Amino acid sequence: MSDNTKPVPVKESFHNALSASFLGPCAENFDILQRLFLGALDEHAKTREYYKSQDGPFITSSMKASAEFSKAVEVLERTAEQISGLLNARSVPFFSVRYMGHMNMEVSMPSIVGWIIAILFNPNNVAFEASPVTTVLESLVGEQLCGMLGYAKHDDVSPWGHITADGTVANMESMWAARNLKFYGLSVHAAMTKGDKPLAFVANDFTVTTCDEPDTPQLLSKLTAWQLLNLTPDVVLSLADRLAAQYGITSEFLGKALEPYLAQTTGKEKLMKMYGVDVEPLYFISSTKHYSWPKAAALIGIGRENCVNIKVDNNARIDIDALTAALQDCVNRKCAVYAVVAIIGSTEEGSVDPLDKILALKPKFAKQGLSFLVHADAAWGGYYASMLRERPVPMIGLPKEGEDPDRDFVPSITLRDSTVDQFKALAQTDSITIDPHKAGYIPYPAGALCYRDERMRLLLTWSAPYIDGGAQGDGSIGIYGIEGSKPGAPAVACYLHHSVLGLHREGHGALLGEASFTCRRFAAHWSAMSDDKTSFIVIPFNAVDESDIKIIRERILDQSNEDIVADSDALKVLCKLGSDLNINAFACNFRINGRVNDDVEEANYLNNRLYNRFSTPKPGSEIDIKTIPLFLSSTVFKQEDYGDCVKNFQTRIGLETDSCQDLFVLRNVVMSLFQSAGNYVQSLAKSFQAGLEEEVKNVVARNTVSPQTHVFLMQGSDNLYLVYRPLFYHANGRQQLILAASFSDPTQAAQYKALRLAHPDLTFELSTDQKTTVGDLLRSRQIVGNVTAPPLFAIFMQSVKITITFVVKDRPLNSRWRDPAYPASCTPFYLYGTPAEKHVDHMLLRAPNAQISSDRVTLDCTPALTPDQLAKGVIVYLNRPEAAMQPFTTKAAAFFEPGTSFGVTVYSDSQPAKASGPGLSQGGARIATGRITLGRAVFYDAVVVNTADFAEGTKVSAYTARSTSMDRSAQEDWRDVVKNALGLGGSSV
């Protein structure tokens, strides 16, 4: 890799040349792609026609003239037309400049053509004889990637790379290699000293150096298990070559000698037991890691719990101090370490870990006897290394000096200096994951794994890792990876793309440079879209200097690309914005009457609505995908993963952090080279702002207390209790309220008592006859309403006047006051009433939840509760863990039916009536134990209480969605749409 990291002159646009490699948002290059397609098909047809032409045709003209043939062709054409129509009508338009959601854009024309050329032959790169051309091309692609990433031949050892299905497989393979490397020293030692001892003849004079004494050779046979586990990668990988050089040991003999002792054969547990290693080695990686890592740890046998998270800093980069402390702890506990993973472009935030500082820890801890690999997960970021490489010859077609760029002038800019340092450091890593089907613009599936030392790949076989191991063994790529059969088409797609664009700063690097410029233009809008007076707030994850906001608003937002390039101060500010690698994470909040919302759940709701507005519509939404003005993606910053990082971000947004809630975050991923053309970024930003302003109105309405009709459950007949029907997600009902009350009119009291006697199984409700607020009701101590008993539609009593005599409970249900988890050992209820009539209402400690109430329960406990205890209210723990039942189903389960009995423990309620949580179910004194039996009228609701959407025209959702993936019902809707379009009909199974 070139050390010349001088920025690409931003005035020199490579846009015209790059535009020739893509079909274009409006299929502008259709004629080129059509010509290439037809040329590939024509050449392939000639190949078939002239191969053994003497064999003659096997599909004859008479066959083609038959009714059966015609019918089959008709079915083919019709079905293909159906599929094509379905995809064109319903697919996400990744090709559009309006798409900036996931890591998707249209793939390049060279890669499409390469894929098509190869798929007509369908080569299988698992074996050389089945794919001689594409196997060689895959090897060449591996060389291209290694060169771009900075790997070079050293000490007669060459790097090596190959294509995998994706980054997940590449990460898994790297972990497999790391595991085998870690135990290889033990395996060689065991072959010298244990069992049949096939290598005993070298035990007395074969020496190696340890990581803490690199200048002092020691007998390998005399090393401790700790020393063997911490041999450096170079020492381990040179063992086979040294045994061959010193003793003439052949690869065949060494392979057979070691096979019974390899972790590949015995499993690592047997080796660990053999050597008394009782502490599992660990893998260290950032807590914001890709999900493939714990999956790989499970599959490779390392175990997910041994893939240890290291916390991140406020920029979502691995915290070096925390990593240093974790490694030191391993030294102190004699715990081996497989590897440390550096993320080069996190898929959620575009962050690049400080790889140079991670690499600096290797020699530091080697002096203490600890050795480990460093792997770079550059699935997203790897191709950005092309932005640093020089082109061998000048690029043609650059604008002439002094030439005015046209409307579509799109600058290409380089990486920030701090990021460049990390890409320089890639050359010192042991292995790198890179995904051509991400920032390489290659069709799926195409991941890749590169090794600094080609001998690493031999650890995945039962062959010894010799320098010339490839020459001695099979040239087939498939034996060195996880996959068996693997397509050759991705290799051709990669090779053609790499060869046409070039993996350098004037080719692929310029493409990513243009996307980088566009990404920072979007970052400018997220940074300055809101101010102190707007009803909405937009905050980018990557913090912006307040001193730069004025320049952003005045000299960047509404300026053309040309103007920004000509304004050095503006360009300098622009280059500071956004993430390390072309992903903008940001979140929105809102103000009510000038006050910033501090409720995390309500901010999450706003961002969730924005995501639904600017993402693939659900089939039942009646929204045409073509009407979506722009496409974003989303993610969730979980407290357990992001820790102080997400709390810092929440503080910047204006949200409280005490409740430790996860944060729903929006993302825009920039890959298109066309979005900045013609100042299109401004248009997309305005579309987003218009949608944001509309959604803020909905969210403000849901968080504004206003007169409404309120509903209470009526419990008891001798003494009346009212239990409020709450709403978690609306300010008008966000409280759990239990009131002792009485009828103002004795006649109405008698009428109600008669109703209860006549209908003991009904739950009666009191609905206010005028719209009002709960606060006004409590202040007036009066409620006037109508008595009903859903699902019956009749009004049993009208204009009933009720006086509030005592407030048993009046606690807020805002998200910050809820418990962090559902009760794990019980299901808590409030119990209140009189000795003659006792009632219960489920404690709503966390959302989503269910309101479960029963009047006139039977309580048999020792000692019996006093009238004062019942009047004030106590807490009963039902002996069933609520966590095991959550989330509650929308219909009442059998265990909450009338007459159901539970063992219970009764506690005093140590909290006042208006106390806020969390922890409201705890702290009281244990006062009784016994059994409780639900009454005849049991109320259960898990729908209304969890209603999330109150905006006009929206579909009511049972819960506030926190997932960023499509829910099951939407997936089922999509199955129905696809099946119906194909004439299959019916719902999916």
pLDDT beyond 50 at 989: no
Quick one: what percent of the chain has pLDDT higher than 70? 92
pLDDT beyond 50 at 1: no
User: Per DSSP, which regions of 372-494 are E strands?
Assistant: 373-378, 431-434, 447-451
Cα distances from 605 to residues 3, 597, 928, 959, in angstroms, run 47, 12, 42, 11
Quote the CA–CA distance of 471 and 914 in Å, as a whole number. Answer: 79
pLDDT reported for residue 474: 52
Write out pLDDT tens, residues 147-167: 999 999 988 899 999 999 999
Residue 880, token pair as written in the block: 């069933």
pLDDT reported for residue 590: 98
pLDDT reported for residue 878: 96
Please state the rounded mean pLDDT for residues 428-454. 97
pLDDT beyond 70 at 464: no
pLDDT reported for residue 13: 63
Residue 951, token pair as written in the block: 């905006």
Partnered with residue 343 across adjacent β-strands are 377
State which amino acid sits at residue 774. V
pLDDT beyond 70 at 122: yes
pLDDT beyond 90 at 771: yes
Highest mean pLDDT among 86-100, 266-280, 606-620: 266-280
pLDDT beyond 60 at 606: yes
Quote the CA–CA distance of 76 and 78 in Å, as a whole number. Answer: 6
pLDDT beyond 90 at 270: yes
pLDDT reported for residue 382: 97
Quote the CA–CA distance of 906 and 929 in Å, as a whole number. Answer: 6
Residue 800 makes CB contacts below 8 A (sequence gap 6+) with 743, 745, 748, 752, 766, 784, 785, 786, 787
Quote the CA–CA distance of 560 and 564 in Å, as a whole number. Answer: 6
Plot region of 597 (φ>0 → left; ψ -120 to 50 → alpha; else → beta): beta
State which amino acid sits at residue 327. L
pLDDT beyond 60 at 723: yes
pLDDT beyond 60 at 401: no
Write out pLDDT tens, residues 189-235: 999 999 999 999 999 999 999 999 999 999 999 999 999 999 999 99
pLDDT reported for residue 704: 95
Quick one: what percent of the chain has pLDDT higher than 90? 82
pLDDT reported for residue 973: 74
* Average pLDDT score over the chain: 91
Quote the CA–CA distance of 27 and 39 in Å, as a whole number. Answer: 19
Please state the rounded mean pLDDT for residues 772-799. 94
Please state the rounded mean pLDDT for residues 898-926. 95
pLDDT band at 470 (very low <50, low <70, confident <90, very high): very low
The answer to whether 938 and 861 are in contact (CB under 8 A) is: no
DSSP at 729: T
pLDDT reported for residue 10: 46
pLDDT beyond 90 at 461: no
Quote the CA–CA distance of 69 and 480 in Å, as a whole number. Answer: 44
pLDDT band at 466 (very low <50, low <70, confident <90, very high): low
pLDDT beyond 50 at 962: no
Quote the CA–CA distance of 51 and 54 in Å, as a whole number. Answer: 8
pLDDT beyond 80 at 527: yes
pLDDT band at 949 (very low <50, low <70, confident <90, very high): confident
The answer to whether 540 and 584 are in contact (CB under 8 A) is: yes
* Phi, psi torsion values for 762, nearest 5 degrees: -90, 145
pLDDT band at 620 (very low <50, low <70, confident <90, very high): low
Please state the rounded mean pLDDT for residues 698-717. 96
Our separate counts of H helices and E strands in the chain read: 30, 27
Please state the rounded mean pLDDT for residues 713-718. 95
pLDDT beyond 80 at 988: no
pLDDT beyond 50 at 43: yes
The answer to whether 436 and 490 are in contact (CB under 8 A) is: yes
pLDDT beyond 70 at 959: no
pLDDT beyond 60 at 314: yes
Write out pLDDT tens, residues 345-361: 999 999 999 999 999 99
pLDDT beyond 80 at 409: no
pLDDT band at 237 (very low <50, low <70, confident <90, very high): very high
Residue 137, token pair as written in the block: 């091309």
Write out pLDDT tens, residues 629-641: 999 999 999 999 9
- Name which residue leads in pLDDT, 89 or 728: 728
Please state the rounded mean pLDDT for residues 15-26. 93
State which amino acid sits at residue 662. D
pLDDT beyond 70 at 520: yes
Please state the rounded mean pLDDT for residues 36-42. 95
